[in-house]
Amino acid sequence: MSNKTLTRRGVLKSGVGIGAGVALPTIFTASSASAFTNEPTGSSVTLGFNVPQTGPYADEGADELRAYELAVEHLNGGGDGGMLGTFSSKVLDGTGIMGKKVQYVSGDTQTKSDAARASAKSMIEKDGAIMITGGSSSGVAVAVQGLCQEAGVIFMAGLTHSNDTTGKDKKANGFRHFFNAYMSGAALAPVLEKLYGNDRRAYHLTADYTWGWTQQESIAAATEALGWETVENVLTPLAQTDFSSYIAPVLNAGADVLVLNHYGGNMVNSLTNAVQFGLREKQVNGKNFEIVVPLYSELMAKGAGANIKGIVGSQNWDWKLENERGDKYAGSNAFVKSFGEKYGFPPSQAAQTCYAQTLLYADAVQRAGSFNPCAVAEAMEDFEFDGLGNGPTTYRGADHQCFKDVLVVRGAENPSDEYNLVEIVEVTPVEQVTYAPDHPMFAGGALGSCNAGA
Amino acid sequence: MDAILVQILNGLDKGSAYALIALGLTLIFGTLGVVNFAHGALFMIGAFCAVTLQRILNLSYETVDPDKTDFLGQPLKVKTPYVESWFGPDVGAAIIDWSVPLAILFAIPVMLIFGFVMERGLIKHFYKRPHADQILVTFGLAIVLQEIIKANFGANPIQTPAPEMLSGVATLMDGVVYPVWRIVYFCFAALIIGGVFAFLQFTTFGMVVRAGMADRETVGLLGIDIDRRFTIMFGLAAAVAGLAGVMYGPINAPNYHMGMDFLVLSFVVVVVGGMGSLPGAVLAGFVLGILESFASTTWATTTIPGINQIIIYLVAIIILLTRPRGLMGRAGVMED
Amino acid sequence: MFGLDKKDLTLLLVVALLTLLAPFILNPFPTGSGLAQFNAGYPDLMQRFVIFGIFAIGFNILFGLTGYLSFGHAAFLGVGSYSAVWMFKLLSMNIIPAIVLSVIIAGLFALVIGYVSLRRSGIYFSILTLAFAQMSFALAYSVLTPITNGETGLQLTLDDPRILGASATADGSIPVTNLFGLEMRSAVNMALGPWNFTFSAGYYVCAVVMLLAFYLAIRIFRSPFGMMLRAIKSNQNRLNYTGLNSRPYTLAAFVISGMYAGLAGGLMASMDPLAGAERMQWTASGEVVLMTILGGAGTLIGPVLGAGMIKYFENIFSKINDNVLHGWFAWMPDGIEDLTVTLIHPFIGKGWHLTLGILFMLVVIFLPGGLVEGGQRIMRLFRRRKATEDDQTKAKQPAE
């Protein structure tokens, strides 16, 4: 982006109207003056919240947007401050970011790469957004991350679980707080071994697109290391709604575990169908048949209803974390309190990630003393923090991935209310889910150098 | 062998849904000559009739349980549905359990009225308009309907489970098990399809409608108010789509865009069956359902990678190229 | 001039003027004001306007003239985008070879699909094209991932083996698409009092291409070939009985319209080097159908208006949130402000689909000829006399 000028927002917004509409085009400026894209010069700074508002993930997007609004409120000194009080870094003081009031614009990704990029571009070009964040699928995250790299703004990924986001498609301007498929596999494996033993035969149903493949690869690698056998991996089309013809062969495949590498509506439907076919009550090889859903979310649990009882999966965070596992996960309760009091229900993991990402960005700017994306990225790289609900966490500089504990959860048998659909089985410590930046599942990409635009 | 049998059952089951939707779509095509892009939305509205009834039955009053706490640490409010307090917990729970079958009774009047209103209020004015205008207006309507549903029920799927008695699996023969509800769905579809055909074949009303499908003008000249009958046919088509939706709920949880998911597919089914042919639509529904099931077996996907992604469209192309008017189409319907 | 009669020339000049002045016209509100939300004059959206305009103009050559309703036109746009991005990856960042290749590939694709699909007419044709497009989408999303990069979409990377030009710039970034050195991303800002206008290089490249495409479309509409296509629309049987084989004409129209779609796809990738499979989905094909009908099928300018309308709603209405609303109505007393916001809330932000759906219905119910007819009615109101016979025939082209 070479077009943003010093004058653009600053001069205009602060109302230095230059003699009210003098008809001479006196201020022609091309690629000059400003040091980086959308440098905020007035008394405010604009963040872009790009979430799915239409399409199947609209509810998840709505939850993300709630979290963003809450984060903005807290950054500007409103509300009860939420996790600002527990965050280990204390540079944010409720006066916005570097004294500038935080404003935001929102847009609709439609969960399509094209629409998401169009929306992000409009935020950058029209609204002067200095940072873009959000999203509810990996395809969108990778596409928008690429755009932000080119435009010279920071991208703080929302919910994206594919290894590629911080692997093959990683970018210097992009950062991910959410966990990934590899971590799911690494966190689940020991728990699966404990629950189901180490001589199991797993049958995989996998959504036939990039995320599904990385998910399947990760889980298969992790479980095979335990001694499990992967009987079959069947790819299912994204548009599939009725999975009966994929579930039926599982009955006679000799497998005793079904792994559903599906997300969102796909997962709700495939799990519903699997339960319909009586897989949960089935006995194979003298063992109880088990179903595993590697990536869980609260909304999926809600959508799947009673079908998730007893089914194991992994999560980035859960609102009960601090209550059940103690002070190590400080921040969780503070966040649940301010979110719950404002909206009337506990936040989802997507909301927590988005809230944390906004705070992390603000904090990095404050510490760097500049909105320049390169300075911000430098401040974020290898930053160690605590108190954002996930316990001690590191933003690894080599691939811009956060490393923190991963939750293994299970669908509750008798939920006391609709917010307790899952129970925490285990919290896998960060050491077990850490991998080398050049791990083969993440190879093939390069961060490149940071781009500040202008 | 068993695997093949199960896949045929799966195909019949998918085919039932396709056939029911395609049947209604063809009724509208055939009688009114209208391309109804809102037909998927009618299916979706049907499914949400079940959701609505479930919500109504679950209307609850709240009591505070001081022993438990909610997520904010305050005393938990326990909800008890009114039906349970009126009829006692057992009967109440049974009523809620049977909400999907009960929703059939609820959906029939709702869908009929919905169909009448839609035809009288909107579609009627588009009989003489080009097909393109019909597409635009019904597509607009479909968007409006699904957005209204989304605004009220959210975008997330909502489970409408089958009654306890009809869930679970049935053992058909040694080693072959199949979900009970899916068998119910197939029987239900067969019943509806049979009913519609009998209605058209054996009643005077049906005879007039069939005559109207063949030559609307002449029937009008004979002094028969064919418009009124067509309105009723539209209502009937809406009811068929709606019932297909109600019963589909327990198979896959309804969400607001399920209509759009089925829309394109049902058009393909109708066209493959042949425009204006009711038996064609039903036949094509089952044929495509079964082929889709077989294409998703490992055997098929290893032979031709990606076949499960495209099978329906591939079959549609082959059939349309070898049989110009689909399986059982008549000449001259929607060919220009 | 240009071989056009006076009326068409006027239309072309008006369109040219509007396109070139678009950065002003689309930015009517001062940047700082609350209404700036409705400004559409930023490069990305302006580019989308003209690119989808090209797409719709091309679609209209097939649909508006021959009456063949293709429900799979997005496939050509998608194929065009993929070709262009591959050209950037392999050859050079100059947009000319990329666009040329995307037009050629889309044309070939259209030739094959058209040859098969045109064996049928009416709805059978529509379903055939739909089937081909859906197959392309499904395969691009899954099995063809090595070529298309599936879900994520095909993007440029730092290690592309670019034959003419570097894989990465000196400072380690991906090079920018350009036209002989003129970067598509570069732009000039002009501040004029409280207004701010952006002139983007990419937009003007697109605009010039669109004007050429529009000019070509006028020529096709007015040519003997165009006449032949209209004859096919009004009665294909009669044409066949006169001993004419109409297939070559429809096929030519199909291929031309596919090449327009490919051009649009190539331009889209040139402005933003990414090609995603969703571009080929049936919803994308449906969108161009809606654009054309909404604007006025069979008219020259209609499809462009329709394209602009839909893209405007998608990009502007989806971005209005409650926060913005409260900003607008802050001058009202508190209670009334909240009420107003609550009333408008369902139609903006996540409700932009609803607004669009209502708009579709209103336009088609009250303006059977699409937006063009709306424009004509307003013109007639101003002139206070009946529009000329000529206008009438133009607007009343049945859209079958």
Lookup: tokens for B288: 């495509």
Q: Contacts of residue A337 in chain B, CB cutoff 8 Å? A: 72
Q: Is C211 exposed, middle or buried (0-12, 13-18, 19+ CB in 10 A)?
A: middle
State how beta strands A290-295 and A283-284 pair. Answer: unpaired
Q: What is the pLDDT of residue C257?
A: 96
Q: Tell me: the pLDDT tens digits for B151-160?
A: 999 999 999 9
**Is residue C356 included in any domain, yes or no?**
no
Chains that touch A (3 or more CB pairs under 8 A): B, C
Strand-pairing partners, residue A106, are A49
Q: Is the pLDDT of residue A454 over 50?
A: yes
Q: Which of B133, B141, B264 sits opposite C368 (nearest CB)?
A: B133
Same structural domain, A173 and A187: no
Greatest distance between any 2 Cα atoms in chain B:
76
Chains that touch C (3 or more CB pairs under 8 A): A, B
Q: Is the pLDDT of residue B313 over 80?
A: yes
**Is residue A278 included in any domain, yes or no?**
yes
Q: Contacts of residue B317 in chain C, CB cutoff 8 Å? A: 116, 128, 131-132
**Is residue C375 included in any domain, yes or no?**
no
Label residue A10 by pLDDT band (50, 70, 90): very low
Residues C244 and C229: their CA atoms lie apart, in Å, by 12
Q: What is the pLDDT of residue A442?
A: 93
Q: Which of A238-242, B69-73, B301-305 has the lowest mean pLDDT?
A: B69-73
Residue C13 belongs to domain spanning: 6-280
HEC readout, chain B: CHHHHHHHHHHHHHHHHHHHHHHHHHHHHHHHCCCCCCHHHHHHHHHHHHHHHHHHHCCEEEEEEEEEECCCCCEEEEEEEHHHHHHHHHHHHHHHHCHHHHHHHHHHHHHHHHHHHHHHHCHHHHCCCCHHHHHHHHHHHHHHHHHHHHHHHCCCCCCCCCCHHHCCEEEEECCEEEEHHHHHHHHHHHHHHHHHHHHHHHCHHHHHHHHHHHCHHHHHHCCCCHHHHHHHHHHHHHHHHHHHHHHHCCCCCCCCCHHHHHHHHHHHHHHHHCCCCHHHHHHHHHHHHHHHHHHCCHHHHHHCCCHHHHHHHHHHHHHHHHCCCCCCCCCCCCCC
User: Checking phi first, is residue A138 left (phi over 0); if not, alpha (psi -120 to 50) or beta?
Assistant: alpha
The shortest C-alpha distance from C77 to chain A (Å) reads 13
Nearest to C56 by CA among C288, C311, C243: C288
**Is residue B187 included in any domain, yes or no?**
yes
Q: Tell me: the pLDDT tens digits for C154-177?
A: 988 888 888 888 888 887 788 889
Angle between helices B2-32 and B258-273 (to 10 degrees): 80
Q: Contacts of residue C290 in chain B, CB cutoff 8 Å? A: 136, 139
Q: What is the pLDDT of residue C276?
A: 87
Label residue B19 by pLDDT band (50, 70, 90): very high
Q: Considering its fold, how many domains does chain B have in total? A: 1
Closest chain C residue to the Cα of B123, Cα to Cα: C365
Same structural domain, A195 and A310: yes
User: Checking phi first, is residue A393 left (phi over 0); if not, alpha (psi -120 to 50) or beta?
Assistant: beta
Average pLDDT over residues C36-55: 92
Going B104 to B107 to B112 to B113, the CA torsion angle's sign is positive
Q: For chain B, positions 3-42, list CB contacts with chain A under 8 A.
A: 3, 6-7, 10-11, 13-14, 17
Residue B309 belongs to domain spanning: 2-54+84-322
The shortest C-alpha distance from C173 to chain A (Å) reads 6
Q: Is A446 on the interface with C (CB under 8 A)?
A: yes
The answer to whether the Cβ–Cβ distance between A237 and C194 falls below 8 Å is no
Average pLDDT over residues C219-244: 90
**Is residue C254 included in any domain, yes or no?**
yes
**Is residue A448 included in any domain, yes or no?**
no
**Is residue B134 included in any domain, yes or no?**
yes
Q: Tell me: the pLDDT tens digits for B119-131?
A: 999 998 998 888 8
**Is residue B71 included in any domain, yes or no?**
no
Same structural domain, A47 and A101: yes
Average pLDDT over residues B194-200: 94
Q: Which residue has the higher pLDDT, C235 or A433?
A: A433
Q: What is the pLDDT of residue C288?
A: 94
Residues A442 and A168: their CA atoms lie apart, in Å, by 6
Lookup: tokens for B334: 């929607």
**Is residue C33 included in any domain, yes or no?**
yes
Same structural domain, A154 and A21: yes
Q: Tell me: the pLDDT tens digits for C352-374?
A: 999 999 999 999 899 888 899 99
Closest chain C residue to the Cα of B307, Cα to Cα: C139
Residue A224 belongs to domain spanning: 182-315+406-433
Label residue B336 by pLDDT band (50, 70, 90): low
Q: Is the pLDDT of residue C258 over 60?
A: yes
The answer to whether the Cβ–Cβ distance between B143 and C400 falls below 8 Å is no
Q: What is the pLDDT of residue B88?
A: 83
The answer to whether the Cβ–Cβ distance between C188 and A28 falls below 8 Å is yes
Q: What is the pLDDT of residue C170?
A: 80
**Is residue C341 included in any domain, yes or no?**
no
Q: Which of A249, A251, A340 sits opposite B72 (nearest CB)?
A: A340
Q: What is the pLDDT of residue B175?
A: 74
CATH of the domain at A283: 3.40.50.2300
**Cβ neighbours of residue A344 under 8 Å, at least 6 residues apart?**
none
Same structural domain, A287 and A336: no
**Is residue B183 included in any domain, yes or no?**
yes
Q: Tell me: the pLDDT tens digits for A379-420?
A: 999 999 999 999 999 999 999 999 999 999 999 998 888 888
The shortest C-alpha distance from B181 to chain C (Å) reads 30
Q: Is the pLDDT of residue A14 over 50?
A: no
Q: What is the pLDDT of residue A133?
A: 96
**Is residue B158 included in any domain, yes or no?**
yes
Q: For chain C, positions 153-212, list CB contacts with chain B under 8 A.
A: none
Q: Considering its fold, how many domains does chain C have in total? A: 1
Same structural domain, A423 and A338: no
ipTM above 0.85, yes or no: yes
Q: What is the pLDDT of residue A253?
A: 86
Q: Which of A141-145, B4-8, C188-192 has the lowest mean pLDDT?
A: C188-192
Same structural domain, A344 and A285: no
Closest chain C residue to the Cα of B134, Cα to Cα: C364
Q: What is the pLDDT of residue A21?
A: 35
Residues A415 and A427: their CA atoms lie apart, in Å, by 20
Q: Is C349 on the interface with B (CB under 8 A)?
A: no
Q: Is the pLDDT of residue A366 over 50?
A: yes
**Is residue A305 included in any domain, yes or no?**
yes
The shortest C-alpha distance from A172 to chain C (Å) reads 10
Q: Is A423 on the interface with C (CB under 8 A)?
A: no
Q: Which of A248, A265, A419 sits opposite B157 (nearest CB)?
A: A265
Q: Considering its fold, how many domains does chain A have in total? A: 2
The answer to whether the Cβ–Cβ distance between B296 and A277 falls below 8 Å is no
Q: What is the pLDDT of residue C72?
A: 93
Q: Tell me: the pLDDT tens digits for B252-288?
A: 999 998 998 888 888 899 989 988 888 999 999 999 9
Q: Is the pLDDT of residue C143 over 80?
A: yes
What distance, in Å, lies between the first and last C-alpha atoms of chain C? 32
Q: Is the pLDDT of residue B333 over 80?
A: no
**Is residue C285 included in any domain, yes or no?**
no
CATH of the domain at B237: 1.10.3470
Same structural domain, A32 and A117: yes
Q: Is B140 on the interface with C (CB under 8 A)?
A: yes
- DSSP assignment of A88-100 equals S-----SS-BTTB
Closest chain B residue to the Cα of A265, Cα to Cα: B157
Summary mean pLDDT of chain A: 88
Q: What is the pLDDT of residue A33?
A: 54
Q: What is the pLDDT of residue C153?
A: 86
**Is residue B216 included in any domain, yes or no?**
yes
The answer to whether the Cβ–Cβ distance between A210 and C141 falls below 8 Å is no
CATH of the domain at C103: 1.10.3470
Closest chain A residue to the Cα of B67, Cα to Cα: A416
Instruction: Give percent of chain C above pLDDT 70.
Output: 96
Residues B302 and A235: their CA atoms lie apart, in Å, by 11
Q: Is the pLDDT of residue C185 over 90?
A: no
Label residue A6 by pLDDT band (50, 70, 90): very low
Q: For chain B, positions 175-234, list CB contacts with chain A under 8 A.
A: 175, 177-179, 181-182
Residues B203 and B219: their CA atoms lie apart, in Å, by 16
Summary mean pLDDT of chain C: 89
Strand-pairing partners, residue C197, are C190
The answer to whether the Cβ–Cβ distance between B310 and C138 falls below 8 Å is yes
Q: Is the pLDDT of residue C397 over 70?
A: no
**Is residue A438 included in any domain, yes or no?**
no
Q: Which of B2, B76, B294 sits opposite A417 (nearest CB)?
A: B76
**Is residue A42 included in any domain, yes or no?**
yes
Q: What is the pLDDT of residue B264?
A: 87
Chains that touch B (3 or more CB pairs under 8 A): A, C
Q: Tell me: the pLDDT tens digits for C82-141?
A: 999 999 999 999 999 999 999 999 999 999 999 999 998 888 899 999 999 999 999 998
Do the beta carbons of residue C84 and residue C266 sit within 8 Å?
yes
Q: What is the pLDDT of residue B332?
A: 65
Label residue B176 by pLDDT band (50, 70, 90): confident
Closest chain B residue to the Cα of A340, Cα to Cα: B72
Same structural domain, A173 and A64: yes
Same structural domain, A107 and A238: no
Average pLDDT over residues A241-258: 90
Q: What is the pLDDT of residue A16?
A: 35
Q: For chain B, positions 56-115, list CB contacts with chain A under 8 A.
A: 68, 70-72, 76
Q: Is the pLDDT of residue B335 over 80?
A: no
Closest chain C residue to the Cα of A54, Cα to Cα: C350
Average pLDDT over residues C238-244: 88
The answer to whether the Cβ–Cβ distance between A237 and B297 falls below 8 Å is no
State how beta strands A101-108 and A44-51 pair. Answer: parallel
**Is residue C353 included in any domain, yes or no?**
no
Label residue A32 by pLDDT band (50, 70, 90): very low
Q: Is the pLDDT of residue C1 over 80?
A: no
Output the pTM of the full model. 0.90
Q: Is the pLDDT of residue C297 over 90?
A: no
Closest chain C residue to the Cα of B274, Cα to Cα: C124
Residues B312 and B292: their CA atoms lie apart, in Å, by 7
| Residue A432: HSE in the Cβ half-sphere, 13 Å Cα cutoff | 17
Q: Is C69 on the interface with B (CB under 8 A)?
A: yes
Label residue C384 by pLDDT band (50, 70, 90): low
Percent of residues in chain C assigned helix, strand, coil, to nearest 5: 70, 5, 25
Q: What is the pLDDT of residue A17?
A: 36
Q: Tell me: the pLDDT tens digits for A54-68?
A: 888 899 999 999 999
Q: What is the pLDDT of residue A52?
A: 93
